[in-house]
Amino acid sequence: MSTDTSPRSNAALFERAQKVIPGGVNSPVRAFRAVGGTPRFIASASGAYIVDVEGKRYIDYIGSWGPMILGHGHPAVLDAVQRAAAEGFSYGAPTEREVELAEAILALVPSCEQIRLVSSGTEAAMSAIRLARGATGRAKLIKFEGCYHGHADALLVKAGSGLATFGNPTSAGVPPEVVQHTLVLEYNNLEQLEEAFKIHGDDLACVMIEPIAGNMNFVRASLPFMKRIRELCTQHGALFVFDEVMTGFRVALGSAQSIYAQALPSFAPDISVFGKVIGGGMPLAAFGASRKIMSELAPLGPVYQAGTLSGNPVATACGLATLREISKPGFFEALGQRTRQLSDGLASTAKAAGIDFVSDSQGGMFGFFFSKTLPQNYPAVMATDKDRFNRWFHLMLDRGVYLAPALYEAGFVSAAHGQAEIDATLLAARESFASL
Ligand SMILES: *Cc1c(COP(=O)(O)O)cnc(C)c1O
């Protein structure tokens, strides 16, 4: 743990930050509240590594919470961003690059015929809900405990990330009337789903889900659960919304929906929400659907939605360059193998140390739990061994491995993570398990 208080130390910066920024951070999980200790202030990053202000280097398994799928400072992306910046930061007028990015996304996601670009996942999810309500003329929606869809008022109902450990099942400042139409169900619970549709089915605008829930670490929606949501939505005229802000272009080139579509014939969501990877580290997100649903949006239809910086020329350059790289043949096979090697390696290392530990991965996203079995829902995630996780997190951090600072967050591997980084991580893991 950092005790150095020289002006460029993490501790000194954290103290200074807390004077001018609430909690010293601009997004709660960065404050290390869940695991304790001093957050690292990052000075720079390159490839698979980040370097803090004290000059300590870490293997980065957060990757800005997903976007940095190519690693930091990928030459092609850097070049695209620098060229775009030189041409102008923002015009507030349409550009060719927005069209190119829309075309690139749609080519990879057959369930969407049109897409609109926005600046954050929160904005995209919020807009998707408004679109679903506008398109159906209904108000009610279902979300699942432990899934995070950004911090729009209507969705801050027992949200997972951040709020979970802060002991705020719902945020202050959200009037009860605003969430009165939001139903929160247990993830992977078929019985609750059936019950909810029996009561509210014909009043439901949509069901929103993280297909692989990355805001409660890593929990897959089971095939029967997904299949049944799809059937019930179709039967009752509700829209099925996939929040792929984290999983999109991260777990597979076609996103999580391509994995479910492989297992379930003709499976597709009605609306999809993207973010993180499609911006490559710049503020960019999107939501898309069929042409019919998207035509409800202004300026064509009555559902209002807008943004000064939407489709920003520098952000779209970054996103496009990122998508180009990950679309290259073999990219996801290699990334998936490396990630699986890490995830399996951690599990076997823990097993050798006699520690209850399970892990899973898909594409470049992974999760692990101090537990005998993989949790299937939020209560089960929160029942895993938190003390062990927290101690292990710090042991790994001391050894230069930067994992997500909370047991309910997923991990990310980038294309810049090579055999050397995986080996170093597993060595650190062996020592850390031994010290537990
Ligand atoms: C990160 C995330 C969001 C919110 O995106 P921001 O860009 O942080 O607003 C929404 N949904 C999911 C599934 C996410 O992982």
Cβ 111 vs Cβ 257: under 8 Å = yes
Measured from the CA of 120, which atom of ligand 1 is nearest?
7
134 C-alpha to ligand 1 centroid (Å)? 22
Could you give the CA distance from residue 319 to residue 279 in angstroms, rounded to a whole number? 4
What phi-psi label fits residue 173: left (phi over 0), alpha (psi between -120 and 50 degrees) or beta? left
Dist. CA 212–CA 198, nearest whole Å:
25
DSSP string for 22-33: GGG-SSGGGG-T
Pocket test for ligand 1, best of 215, 220, 251, 309 (most atoms within 8 A of CB): 215
What integer is the mean pLDDT of 117-130? 98
Instruction: Confirm or reject: Cβ of 48 under 6 Å from ligand 1.
Output: no
Sign of CA dihedral 361, 366, 370, 374: negative
| Number of other CB atoms surrounding residue 146 within 10 Å | 28
* pLDDT above 70 for 1: no
Closest CA to 274 of 406, 75, 115, 103: 115
What is the tally of helices (H) and strands (E) in the chain? Answer: 14, 16
Cα 150 to middle of ligand 1, angstroms: 5
Q: Tokens standing for 407? A: 């047991």
For 207-253, write each residue's pLDDT tens digit: 999 999 999 999 999 999 999 999 999 999 999 999 999 999 999 99
For the CA of 273, the nearest atom of ligand 1: 11
Angle in degrees, 0-180, between the axes of helices 96-108 and 313-326, rounded to the nearest 10 = 30
Of the residues 58, 61, 276, 408, which is catalytic?
Answer: 276
Confidence band of 6 (pLDDT split at 50, 70, 90): confident
Catalytic residue, chosen from 148, 260, 402, 408, is 148
Question: With pLDDT > 90 as the criterion, what percentage of the chain qualifies?
Answer: 91
CA distances from 286 to 84, 279, 308, 324 (A): 20, 10, 14, 17
Query: What would the pLDDT profile of 128-179 be if each residue is shown by its tens digit?
Result: 999 999 999 999 999 999 999 999 998 988 643 443 333 234 688 988 888 8
Residue among 24, 50, 58 nearest 38 (CA): 24
Task: Look up residue 295 and give its two tokens.
Answer: 């035509």
CA distance to 60, 73, 99, 327, 330, per residue, from 76 (Å): 20, 9, 20, 14, 18
> Whole-prediction pTM value?
0.95
Ligand 1 centre distance from Cα of residue 112 (Å): 19
Helix or strand run (H / E) with residue 365: strand 365-369
Q: How far apart are CA 154 and CA 362, in angstroms?
A: 30
Q: What pairing do the DSSP bridges indicate for beta strands 219-220 and 49-52? A: unpaired
DSSP state of 70: T
- The amino acid present at 270, given as its one-letter code, is D
18-60 residue pLDDT tens: 999 999 999 999 999 999 999 999 999 999 999 999 999 999 9
For residue 276, indicate whether it is catalytic: yes
Q: Is the pLDDT of residue 112 over 60?
A: yes
CA distance 38 to 110: 44
The pLDDT value given to residue 3: 59
- The pLDDT value recorded for residue 247 is 98
SS3 112: coil
152 close to 170: Cβ distance less than 8 angstroms: no
pLDDT score at 176: 80
In tens, the pLDDT along 256-309 reads 999 999 999 999 999 999 999 999 999 999 999 999 999 999 999 999 999 999
At residue 170, the pLDDT reads: 67
Mean pLDDT value across residues 101-110? 98
Pairing mode, if any, of strands 49-52 and 42-46?
A: antiparallel
The CA-atom distances, in angstroms, between 205 and each of 5, 177, 234 are 53, 17, 11
* CB 243 less than 6 A from any atom of ligand 1: yes
274 Cβ partners below 8 Å, 6+ apart? Answer: 105, 115, 124, 244, 245, 248, 249, 255, 285, 286, 287, 288
Structure-block tokens of residue 284: 């960019």
Closest by alpha carbon to 159, among 196, 197, 121, 127? 121
Q: According to the model, what pLDDT value does residue 288 have?
A: 98
Could you give phi then psi for residue 285, rounded to 5 degrees?
Answer: -150, 175
Q: Do 418 and 227 meet the contact criterion of CB atoms below 8 Å apart?
A: no
Q: What is the pLDDT of residue 177?
A: 82
Q: What share of the chain is helix, strand, coil (3-state, %, to 5)?
A: 45, 15, 40
427 Cα to the center of ligand 1, angstroms: 32
Of the residues 58, 140, 143, 243, only one is catalytic, namely 243
Give the least confident one: 4-18, 184-198, 301-315, 316-330.
4-18
